[in-house]
Chains A and B, each alone.
Chain A
Amino acid sequence: MAIVETRAVTKVFKAGTLGAVNDVDLVTEEGEFLVFLGPSGSGKTTLLRMIAGLEVPTSGEILIGGDVVNDLSPRERRIAMVFQSYALYPHLTVYKNIAFPLRAQGVPKDQHKKKVEWAAGLLSIGHLLERKPRELSGGERQRVAVARAIVREPSVFLLDEPLSNLDAKLRASARAELEQFHRRVGTTTIYVTHDQVEAMAMGDRVVVLHKGVVRQIGTPKQVYDDPADTFVATFLGSPPMNLLENGEVIVGFRPEHLVPAALAPSAPIKLTMKIHNVEYLGSEWIIYGRAEAGPTPDKIIISRLPNADLSIGGTHEFAVAEPHLRFFDKTSEKRTTARALSWP
């Protein structure tokens, strides 16, 4: 178990251009499941690889368990990593794949069997030990990759989008298995993903990255309810938060907080909307409309409701409660204090 810390870590690939990772400071907590979340190109994988020792930071320090590890090779850092493609050794059986780290670290041979079977048992793949990777399904390969990582009992677990190669249905069950796995084993874990649902569901805390810069670090609740800037506000939550310009500020509110006026609690901000499109998803409706009067008449505003039978073209009154409004500064896009709005 160890704490991972980065101090002002920066990675520039091509001199003169913006770095892939810029000045990142973060500290994990012991045993936590920390998620690096961001779109592709946000630097999350580069950051992970620097922690693993596969990339060298241009500047800044990386610490594991209190020691600066910048010059240590991956093997010396006592970390384990699961790659997006799983990187299973194709010519070795599952057993030999899992045993390979033990061989490489010089663990005495008589201990191999016990440890491999322990790791395989944790992942329920004991029956696959004699197969080769090409004979396994995607989900099975993923579990082998995790088993290979855990067998060394590392102090830090690094996972690089391990679920993105699985099809949607499998992804949900694999996600649940990983969560359960982490609860059982309790190793400090850093998990990289672009999927905000995964981040919210799995993470103890989420690090939101964009263009190599950390936008916010917080619990899922914090990044969802109290986004630090417009990027975090729109990246988390699907459909994304509605953002409307209003003078010096941008006002935001989530689709689930935009309800028909009749249902709104007291002190609501009202909006008359003309319905542009309606989508029925079974469990809810997504409503797309344009505000008749008000700040930005051309912008599409989204609402989501458990049930609504509104027809396209109709005009209805919607409302948002004031506590649900979030304000962002127009130029810096960062969160700012509440203001009065210019429309009722």
Chain B
Amino acid sequence: MAVKRRPRSTGSSGLGLGVAMFLPAVLYVLLLVAVPFGMAFFYAFSDARIGSGGEHFVGFENFSSVLENPTFRKALGNSFIFTISSQILVLIGSTALALALKDKFRGRGFVRFVILLPWVAPISLGAIGWKWILDSIYSVINWVLIALHIVKPFDKPMWLGQPVLAMISVIVVHTWRLMPFSTVILLAGLTAVPRDIPEAAAVDGAGFWRTLFEITLPMLRPILNVAMLFGIIFTFTDMIVVYVLTAGGPYDSTQVLPSLAFFTGIQGSDLAAGAAISLFLVPLLVVVAVLMLRMAHRAEVT
């Protein structure tokens, strides 16, 4: 019987193999993310347009003209309003739902299936569904409101046609889409809370609300943070809901940064302005990235 060879992939050759194994993936991703990222800066400082020839450096011209544009300022404000509002609603809703779903009951699988649908369905398709529900003439919501005599037939709310109502509609659709994701993550966190902690709180004399706010939710804080940070990113950088639901209307009152970047840069062929607008997403992304890194580091240390 031949002598067995010592394993040779230890130490430095293991490292070499490791690099070889991850290099293709890392290069691929960096190429398709870092390079366009840099290009976005390049375009923002140039006067590039689709179809035209050269690109010249124009300094901060794009940024200043963009900032002066009232539509941009509306879009910037909307991005924050929509994100913060929907996140708050999602937080409350998904906490309540996660608590309700915590214990097993018959039919929980089916409930989970229904609850997940908004998250799993492609965003554009869910949004189109809502567009039909909120349609100016045929909205089922309006039909119900009229049937209940809450609203008069000629006084129907134009859910997508009036600026304030349209903003509310966008917020509602964002909330609708994100709640499943948040709920499911919170559920995972809840099941990680050891059973005897709420029992100890009950023995100690805490009622339902005190246990919830002083014990359970603080223990869920790391998970809540994860759900919220992802939710913020998904909402702030999303153009689909606005594009499908309102196309930014009525009269640009529901524009957000990403949708405005699209309309300006692609439909309007003004690459430079579009790039400049989309770059305003970066500060928020940086903040979120820093927060996430800090959380990961803290988890490593404890």
A11 contacts partner chain B, Cβ-Cβ < 8 Å:
no
Bound-complex Cα distance A84 to B221 (A): 25
**Contacts A90-B219, A91-B219 hold; do A104 and B196 have CB atoms under 8 A apart?**
no
Q: Which residues of B contact A (CB under 8 A)?
A: 194, 196-197, 199-207, 210, 214-215, 218-219, 221, 302
> Closest chain A residue to B199 by CB distance?
A54
Does the CB pair B196–A87 fall under 8 Å? yes
A148 within 8 A of B: yes
CB distance from A239 to the nearest CB of B (A): 35
Name 12 extra pairs, CB < 8 A, besides A54-B202, A75-B203, A85-B194: A53-B202, A83-B200, A87-B200, A89-B200, A89-B215, A100-B206, A101-B205, A103-B210, A104-B206, A105-B204, A105-B205, A134-B302
Query: Which 6 A-B pairs rank lowest in CB-CB distance, beginning with the nearest?
Result: A104-B205, A87-B200, A101-B204, A75-B205, A87-B196, A104-B206
Binary interface encoding of chain A residues 101-130 relative to chain B, with 1 for a CB under 8 A from any of its CBs, else 0: 101110000000000000000000000000
Report yes or no: A87 in contact with B205, Cβ–Cβ below 8 A.
no
Q: Is the CB of B204 within 8 A of A75?
A: yes
Number of interface residues of A (CB under 8 A): 24
Please, how many angstroms separate the alpha-carbon atoms of A279 and B202 in the complex? 49
Q: Does A286 contact B (CB under 8 A)?
A: no
Q: Are B196 and A73 in contact (CB under 8 A)?
A: no
Interchain CB contact under 8 A, B200 and A81? yes
Q: In the complex the two chains form, is B203's CB within 8 Å of A81's CB?
A: yes
A147 within 8 A of B: no
* Given A89-B215, A90-B219, A91-B218: A104 in contact with B302 (beta carbons within 8 A): no
- Nearest chain B CB to A164 CB, angstrom units: 14
Tell me if A74 is interfacial: C-beta within 8 Å of chain B: yes
Question: Given that A89-B215, A90-B219 are contacting pairs, would A79 and B196 also be in contact in the complex, using a CB cutoff of 8 Å?
Answer: no
Instruction: List chain A residues, Cβ under 8 A from B210.
Output: 103-104
Can you list 5 pairs linking A and B with CB atoms under 8 Å apart?
A75-B204, A80-B203, A83-B196, A91-B219, A103-B214
Bound-state CA distance A35–B194 (Å) is: 26
In the complex, the answer to whether B202 meets A87 with C-beta atoms within 8 Å is no
A322 to chain B, nearest CB (A): 50
Q: Bound complex: CA of A87 vs CA of B210, how far in Å? A: 17
Flag whether A52 is at the interface (Cβ < 8 A). Answer: yes
Contact at B199–A100, with CB atoms within 8 Å? no
Find A83's partner among B199, B219, B302 (CB 8 Å cutoff).
Answer: B199
